[in-house]
Amino acid sequence: MWKFLHPYANPETTYHFTNKLLPWLTALAALFLSIGLVWALLFAPADYQQGDSFRIFYVHVPAASLSMGIYVSMAIAALCSLVWQLKLADASAAAMAPVGAAFTAIALITGAAWGKPMWGTWWIWDARLTSELILLFLYLGVIALHNAFEDKNLAGKAAGILTLVGVINIPIIKYSVDWWNTLHQGSTVSKLGKPSMSLDMLWPFIFCFIGFALLAGVIICLRFRNEILARNSIRPWVRQLVEKQLA
């Protein structure tokens, strides 16, 4: 059933596949972000309570969602690396960690900027805000472990264990507003049933979300490609690639 994936266990095959994928992801990311951000910032109607300050929603919510989604993807890769000893899975987890950390930081910064006019303060130890901050620390811990050992296998195992332990934080972030009495508003887009926002606000959000997801994919692919080269630098195909680039 999974035989079609077997060739991609070869670093050279995966490297060239990533090269083919990058132009498409880049073009789509530019298209969706251009349409989504222009639509959201210039043409979407202002919120009847929050006015134009709500427009930070179009950056904050995709960043927060991707911070969790990338971590879950990183945990799946870490599990594959630990259980099946897939070296490329470890490389992909290492590639994803800084990208996830960046989106988590963006979510926290934009959340603080949004919270100031809404709550009257930049920060409060709300359950969702605190658990999102913990997620940033988890990302930083994983990044530190990946760079703490010269032996990449040992570094991958240590980082993978921390990643899997930290997965427990993801449902806490997701459901904290339902489990505890928090200031953070509940779900508006991902609710079961009809989202709590009009379609003229929802559609630009969808474009922004897809655009940011594609942007994350572009950056991860670039980092993944570099990880493959760094971990296979002594292989003949890498030397040939370098010689070809220098020629």
The pLDDT tens digits of the residues spanning 201-223 come to: 999 999 999 999 999 999 999 99
The residue among 152, 24, 144, 19 whose CA lies nearest residue 88 is 152
What is the CA 17 to chain-centroid distance, rounded? 21
Amino acid making up residue 81 = S
Q: Is the pLDDT of residue 193 over 60?
A: no
Q: What angle do CA 160, 97, 10 make, to 5 degrees?
A: 70
186: pLDDT confidence band, cut at 50, 70 and 90? low
Token readout for 113 is 């900027």
133: pLDDT confidence band, cut at 50, 70 and 90? very high
**Tokens 């498409």 map to which residue?**
24
Taking all residues of the chain, what is their mean pLDDT, rounded to a whole number?
90
First CA to last CA distance, the chain:
42
Q: What angle do CA 110, 67, 122 make, to 5 degrees?
A: 25
- The per-residue pLDDT for 2 is 62
Amino acid making up residue 36 = G
- The per-residue pLDDT for 7 is 83
192: pLDDT confidence band, cut at 50, 70 and 90? very low
- The per-residue pLDDT for 164 is 98
Check the CA dihedral 57-63-64-65 and report its sign.
positive
